[in-house]
Amino acid sequence: MSVENCKPATVPGSRPGAPDGPDRAARIASLMTAAADGSEEALGQIVTELTPLLWQVARAAGLTPADAEDVLQTVWLRLLSHLDGIRSPSSLTAWLVITTKREAWRVRGTGRRNVPADQDWLAALPDQGPGSEDQVIVDDQRRALWAAIGRLDQRCQELLRIIAFVPRPDYAAVAAKLGMRPGSVGPTRGRCLAKLRALLAGGPEGSLA
């Protein structure tokens, strides 16, 4: 089998937030260099890779879908003038996440459109499609997870929603930007995930409020 030109256009496991090996960092780094040199294609691939994460960041900040779309465009446009100064894939992800949060605050601050006071996404558990026997177990787990997330405070809901979409190697950089204390050896679980695990394990509700 020829390995010529076998650099995959889409890397296996490049699902948003999917854990990715060191390959990803190298691939994103070379895309960043090419993008800073003016390659629209390279920049486009970065957009495709990271926009699903930024969508969740904008929606978790309480933006309507229309506002989220506008804010994400602003964020990516702003990146153009910053590409030169961003050195690593982790700092790129962190810059994009924090800039999306700031732009979202800005929009909420101006109140230029109606922003729902409550998070609407928690209204219903998303459909899962036709169920099999295995599906019932999975479904129970999903239901339990959904319910537990709903019992966290808003800040934790927002944080976990964001972190869940962050590529694993970028986790520490993003967590630090979001105000989570990094551990001495690596990313820690953090208050929100610890709380969620206690809830899932049937922890005493009262003490977790």
Partner 1 sequence: MTPPDAGDWPPADGPLDEADLEILAGIRDLFQAADPMPDDLPERIRFSLALRDLEIEVARLAAEEDQQLLAVRGPEQSRTITFDSDSLTIMIRIDQNRDGTARVDGWLAPPQCREIELKTTGGALDAASDSQGRFAFASVPQGTAQLIVRPAEQGAGGSGRSVVTPALIL
Q: Which residues bind partner 1 (CB under 8 A)?
A: 16-17, 19, 36, 38, 40, 43-44, 47-48, 51-52, 55-56, 59, 65, 69-70, 72-74, 76-78, 80-81, 83, 103, 106, 110, 112-113, 121, 124-128, 141-142, 145-146, 149, 160-161, 163-165, 168, 171, 181, 183, 185-191, 193-198, 200-201, 203, 207-208
57 Cβ contact list (under 8 Å, min separation 6): 97, 100, 101, 104, 162, 165
Place of tokens 């602003």: 74
Residue 39 C-beta: closest distance to partner 1, Å: 11
Query: Which residues in 90-107 are b (16+ Cβ under 10 Å) and which e?
Result: bbbbbbbbebbbebbeeb
2 Cβ contact list (under 8 Å, min separation 6): none
Residue 183 C-beta: closest distance to partner 1, Å: 6
Residue 103 C-beta: closest distance to partner 1, Å: 8
How far is C-alpha 61 from the chain's CA centre? Answer: 12
Residue 5 C-beta: closest distance to partner 1, Å: 23
**In terms of CB distance, is 177 or 187 closer to partner 1?**
187
